[in-house]
């Protein structure tokens, strides 16, 4: 089963932080990816730009067009900063995998729907 590991942390514009800090953070993720590879775990993922770059769509009302707004849907202290999608045997395995993933303030683990079944 595939699980998404959603990484929450305060918004960070990684283009603006000192290079040593950015490199250290990327090295942590490289080590996590090496762990996934060493276990033969199928994975994908990406870092997200700050929430201020988000665009949100939501229904404007019945029989109305979609409302397009700048920024995240809700204001939060921590935002979704990145994610991994990993193949895991079950939730316990997904939790064990997520324990090794670098995280800021929290990681949400959620199973993905398999639309092909």
Question: What digits encode the pLDDT tens for the residues 16-33?
Answer: 889 999 999 999 999 999
Does 61 fall in a domain?
A: no
The secondary structure element, H or E, covering residue 96 is: helix 91-99
**Burial annotation 50-71 (CB, 10 A radius, 16+ → b, else e):** bbeeeeeeeeeeeeeeeeeeee
Q: In terms of residue numbers, what domain contains 42?
A: 8-49+77-104
Assign residue 39 the CATH number of its domain: 3.30.70.1060
Tens of pLDDT, residues 35-92: 999 999 999 999 888 888 888 887 777 887 888 888 666 566 778 889 999 999 999 9
Does 114 fall in a domain?
A: no
- Is residue 109 over pLDDT 90? yes
* Structural domains of the chain, count: 1
Does 22 fall in a domain?
A: yes
């Amino acid at each position: 089963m595939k699980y998404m590991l959603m990484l929450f942390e305060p918004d960070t514009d990684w283009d603006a932080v000192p290079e040593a800090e950015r490199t250290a953070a990327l090295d942590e993720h490289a080590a996590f990816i090496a762990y996934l590879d060493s276990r033969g775990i199928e994975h994908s993922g990406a870092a997200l730009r700050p929430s201020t770059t988000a665009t949100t769509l939501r229904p404007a009302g019945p029989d109305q067009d979609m409302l397009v707004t700048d920024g995240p849907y809700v204001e939060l202290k921590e935002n979704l900063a990145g994610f991994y999608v990993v193949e895991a045997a079950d939730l316990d395995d997904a939790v064990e995998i997520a324990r090794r993933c670098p995280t800021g303030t929290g990681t949400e683990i959620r199973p993905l729907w398999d639309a092909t079944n």
